[in-house]
Amino acid sequence: MPKWKLTTEFSFDSAHFIRDYKGPCGRMHGHTYRVQIEATSHKLHSSEFCPHEVMVADFKTLRWAKQDVSKGGLDHCVLNEVLPVGYETTAEMIAQYIYEETKRRVPDQVQLKVRVSETPNSWVEYEDD
């Protein structure tokens, strides 16, 4: 059975603080977040931008989070004010949020893996089996 896997990487700049954290991360600060999204599928699909079944998922759709907050993305926002109740602003929870929002935007058959980095040497990865 054929299988396609694509990966896209992008970044966005946002501020946040971790509620009740005893240390510098408990104060407002910012990061340039790096995000990698891996999408896998056994068939190709169309997208809202292309009617032909020629892609796993549209890169434009996968990179929604890099848009300015005023356009529905996460760029140049305070994450504590944008993420829904129940999400803390740790890298783990940001990865889960990006995964869940991206999953709503792609065909059901597409499997996702999301990696988020706040610093050049630390990553978190989220996927839902």
CATH assignment at residue 15: 3.30.479.10
Mean pLDDT of the chain: 96
Task: Kindly report the pTM of this predicted structure.
Answer: 0.96
The stretch 20-25 carries a mean pLDDT of: 95
* Position 79 pLDDT exceeds 90: yes
Determine the structural domain holding residue 42 and report its residue range: 4-126
- Percent pLDDT > 90 in the chain is 98
* Distance in angstroms (rounded) separating the CA atoms of residues 126 and 98: 9
Total tally of structural domains belonging to the chain: 1
Q: 72: left (phi > 0), else alpha (psi -120 to 50), else beta?
A: left
Digit-coded pLDDT (tens) for 27-49: 999 999 999 999 999 999 999 99
CA separation for the pair 36, 27 (Å, rounded): 26
> What pLDDT shows up at residue 9?
98
pLDDT tier at 129, thresholds 50, 70, 90: confident
For residues 105 and 34, the answer to whether their CB atoms sit within 8 Å is no
Whose tokens are 């896998």? That residue is: 40
The token pair that represents 24 in the structure block: 């510098």
